[in-house]
Amino acid sequence: MENLTAFADYLLTIYLLRSSLILFILMVLYYFIFSKEVSFLNNRVYLIATIMFTLVVPLIELPIYPV
């Protein structure tokens, strides 16, 4: 049972690191692209889409086949 909780902790840590990295990259893009935008609707849509994207993308795993 201890191995199972250690593995779950490992998976949670990997998920949090991936999502944090994605969120950081998207927030840097927001700062350079949308921060001076006066249309608040575009800003709001971008920020909500960023949150959704950050939550979903780390769950996707791409198969890697050795050559």
Q: List alpha helices for the chain, DSSP H.
A: 2-33, 40-56
> Residue 22 pLDDT > 90, yes or no?
yes
pLDDT > 70: percent of the chain: 99
The predicted model scores a pTM of 0.78
Q: Tell whether the model's pLDDT for residue 44 goes beyond 70.
A: yes
Domain ranges of the chain: 2-58
Q: Quick one: which of 60, 58, 59, 50 has its CA closest to 24?
A: 50
